[in-house]
Structure 1
Amino acid sequence: MMQDGQEPYTISLTDLRPAEWLQKMNDLGDVSGFFEPLGKHHNAVFVEKGDTLLVSFESLPAIQALSDDARPVGFDLARDNDWSCLTVISNRDTWFRDGEVYGFFDQMTDDGFFEDFEQVIFFGAGPCGYAACAYSVASPGATVIALEPQATLDPRVTEWDDRFTHMRKTDFTDRYGFAPDMLEAAKAAFIVYDPQDQLGAMHAALFERAGNKRLRARLLGGGMQAHMNHMGILEPLVTGAAKGQLDDALFARLYRKRRDYVTYCKKLFATVEAHERPLMAAAVCSHIVETFGGPRYRRKLKAMQQSTDPEAGTSED
């Protein structure tokens, strides 16, 4: 049981089975706001804090896999900004296509829940990014940040996407359905995608319309939320959007931190090497060696130097 006065956003939920984790969320909601089961596959927890509300969509497996404390990323974003937080949690990737979830947002709208806040922000990534866009229509004037979201999985529209064929029987045509259309009432929507990820970029193209801003995060497709969190740019990205400051220039400044992120640098090296660009590959490999070290990349760099200059590196032999 959570004690009164405990800071809800710093709670540790590690090493808990799913049922235990949800019980902790239930206890937290009882003390700090509310907890509401939404059918068999979804739950919602609300923590009341400031006049800004962050609505975060997350899946329990991702939360437990990606967070050291098994906390929703929405909690960390809200804590850093003293925001209230409504976290809608799925027990797997469902794209939140469930009548119980529809009914929950209908009820929140009817009760004027979102109107009690000066600002409302919707956030999610991947399937949860789809949901952030789709359900933002429940709060006209909201700001939306979605990382590599799908627009729909309706096979009549996206039959080219063969990644989620198990979802093709799920109805994406009824309420809260086509995510780009649901953004029409948003104050601003930011769609962050990887142009190198062909299928993800095709989904992002469906969001191209007035009021939406697409931002290119090259080579971060697949796990973009975790990558941005490790780079330390997820929170300033969301905060910048909330303040109305997020534009191409701010995103470019934040995204420069990729140069100090080893995963990005290794992806970049693999890409330029595959495209047979030896000079650029050598430059990237040299940056990896100088910044992060690693015997594998030292050997690669030495081999590339010797291939262009047979005399290079002989002093070490």
Structure 2
Amino acid sequence: MGSPLKVEKRFSLTGHKDAVYTLEKAWAPELFFSAGADGMVVLWNLKEPGKGRMVAKVQSSVYAIMFDAESSRLYVGQNHEGIHVIDPVKREKVGDVALGNVAIFDIVSIGSQILVACSDGVIRVVDCESLSVVKTLPAAGQSCRSLAVRPNAKEFVAGYSDNAVRLFGTEPLFWKKEIPAHAKSVFALRYSPDGKRLFTVSRDAKIKVWDAENDYANIQTVDAHMYAINHLAQSPNGLLLATCSMDKSIKLWDAESLRLLKVIDKARHAGHGTSVNRLLWAGYDNLLISASDDRSVSVWELKRNTPEP
């Protein structure tokens, strides 16, 4: 039986001078940001590919960016330099947040604050109004690599380089539970849209699924890639899960069963030639976007295969 999915490469976006590490939505469905080792933060328009616009240039590698639609601010994590806050429309700096000599791996929004995952194992809580650190959550001696806020619930999770996932409450902010999750670093995690399940991926090349309504019991484990899984993304309708890996491939899964539906790689789809670092599912035209060490951003069109009569 063939795959129910048809994948076509819509186009590639070039202009970065080094590895691209992160992608982020912007203020319109067709717009998104990319950033990476060259310190450039670029705004792209899916309706006008090839017309990337640099909105910021920082001095160090960027692993994490976060756009806040309400304030129209873009938070740029500069490794070992803190957070650079900009107005991406005016391309002007709004402010800075000093965090010390740490790498910044993830940034997420939680009300009027942002959570920042750092290489010293500390989650820093930043007030968006004052741009100051108002609380620290030290929970591990190794890097905090990823963050996810549970929909419609007062908690969030963090993945660490000590292989664990830790659960925190948000009102107030406090540590709740430690989950021995993987055999190696937890690189990314994401809740299902209804908040009932948590997906985690790791350097151990596995996808794991956890029952968030049953004390985060492990309900499924899949040997998904040959090498480390760097990131995952879920389609806007919640039906598909995408993972990307150091093995240079992107894989598409049925989000409910984790049945493998499609492999996107260089041989079959003119995919990336090196590690695929990040994924973003656009709100525009159901396009999947990927970023790689090969300095490019690729845009993929996914369609359901129509059975032959």
TM-score, length of structure 1 as denominator length: 0.30
Q: Please identify which structure carries the higher helix content.
A: 1
TM-score, length of structure 2 as denominator length: 0.31
Q: Please identify which structure carries the higher strand content.
A: 2
Which structure carries more relative contact order (alpha carbon 8 Å, separation 6+)?
2
Pair member with larger Rg: 1
